[in-house]
């Protein structure tokens, strides 16, 4: 995230995996910024690494409780962040939190399908809704035309598992039907939200981060034909590669839509 010059940034699921690594890489950047690092359970054992990071950088990181599955928690987080944001608004909203569920036509569980849709689609929609006012403030405050991640943007961390053209080729080896269906819904949310936010010059796009060794990505995947896995530390989190369209082989995010708007 070295290239991101946005001032106020919010990331969901920031306590582990790609979310935590994104926070770390944003800290490498010398630009003055504030990061609202959100997670479901800021005081729990799975958030220790994030708390440690926040202790080291108290003026840059504020940890906020945000449970993507809970509309009340989303509303409360937005109120709190709103009270802390300056007149510049929120420049960058990263919908990173997600869950995975595996299954085929035969084995996919109804509860898994419902849960992945709730967490991966409905939650991000409600987050965009509640934080939109702050993104609009940032867009107006920027004074520059056009769209960019440094002005006002929603970045949805999605997956090629939700791509109807790319996923079928490896579905039999990696059956994550509930996850794929939810990510397809998420990608649709992205392209339609992009239409709605266009008038405010707020960028909205989806990125595929590649396949990374995280709690979500798993240790046991053996899908070498798709791409080799990288650890989260090896991952560039998107913006070390300054190419407007990062390639699939660069071990960085690559855009699933609107590539011309990424930077």
Residues forming the site for its own copies (CB under 8 A): 71, 104-106, 108, 110, 113-114, 117-118, 121-122, 125-126, 128-129, 132, 162, 164, 167-168, 171-172, 177, 180-182, 184-185, 187-189, 191-197, 257
Residue 11 or 197 with smaller CB distance to its own copies: 197
Minimum CB distance to its own copies, residue 185 (Å) = 4
Residue 2 or 221 with smaller CB distance to its own copies: 221
Question: What is the SS3 assignment for 224?
Answer: coil
Question: What is the SS3 assignment for 21?
Answer: helix
Which among 1, 6, 203 is positioned nearest to 85, based on CA atoms? 6
Helix spans in the chain (H): 17-28, 48-56, 71-84, 110-117, 123-142, 177-197
Residue 25 or 180 with smaller CB distance to its own copies: 180
Minimum CB distance to its own copies, residue 236 (Å) = 26
Residue 50 or 206 with smaller CB distance to its own copies: 206
Query: The dihedral of CA 119, 212, 202, 57: what is its sign?
Result: positive
Minimum CB distance to its own copies, residue 102 (Å) = 12
Residue 4 or 176 with smaller CB distance to its own copies: 176
Q: What burial class does residue 168 get, using C-beta atoms within 10 Å of its C-beta: 0-12 exposed, 13-18 middle, 19+ buried?
A: exposed
Minimum CB distance to its own copies, residue 125 (Å) = 6
Question: What is the SS3 assignment for 19?
Answer: helix
CA 221 to chain centre: 22
Residue 71 or 259 with smaller CB distance to its own copies: 71
Minimum CB distance to its own copies, residue 194 (Å) = 7
- Rounded to whole angstroms, the Cα distance separating 73 from 61 reads 19
Minimum CB distance to its own copies, residue 87 (Å) = 23
Tokens of 73: 């928690």
- Rounded to whole angstroms, the Cα distance separating 201 from 91 reads 12
């Amino acid at each position: 995230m070295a290239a991101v010059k946005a001032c106020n940034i919010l990331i969901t699921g920031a306590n582990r995996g790609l979310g935590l690594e994104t926070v770390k890489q944003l800290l490498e950047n010398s630009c003055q910024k504030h990061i609202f690092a959100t997670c479901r359970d800021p005081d729990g054992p799975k958030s220790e690494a994030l708390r440690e990071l926040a202790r080291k950088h108290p003026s840059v990181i504020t940890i906020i409780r945000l449970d993507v599955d809970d509309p009340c928690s989303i509303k409360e987080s937005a109120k709190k962040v709103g009270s802390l944001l300056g007149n510049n608004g929120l420049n960058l909203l990263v919908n990173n939190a997600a869950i995975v569920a595996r299954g085929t036509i035969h084995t996919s569980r109804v509860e898994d399908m419902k849960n992945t849709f709730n967490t991966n689609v409905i939650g991000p929609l409600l987050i965009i809704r509640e934080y939109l006012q702050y993104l609009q403030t940032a867009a107006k405050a920027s004074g520059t035309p056009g769209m960019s991640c440094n002005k006002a943007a929603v970045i949805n961390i999605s997956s090629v598992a939700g791509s109807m053209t790319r996923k079928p080729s490896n579905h039999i080896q990696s059956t994550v039907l509930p996850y794929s269906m939810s990510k397809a819904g998420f990608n649709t949310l992205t392209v339609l939200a992009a239409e709605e936010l266009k008038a405010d010059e707020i960028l909205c796009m989806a990125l595929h981060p590649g396949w990374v060794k995280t709690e979500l990505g798993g240790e046991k995947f053996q899908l070498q034909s798709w791409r080799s896995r990288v650890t989260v530390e090896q991952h560039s989190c998107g913006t070390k590669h300054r190419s407007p369209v990062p390639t699939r082989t660069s071990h960085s995010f690559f855009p699933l839509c609107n590539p011309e708007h990424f930077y």
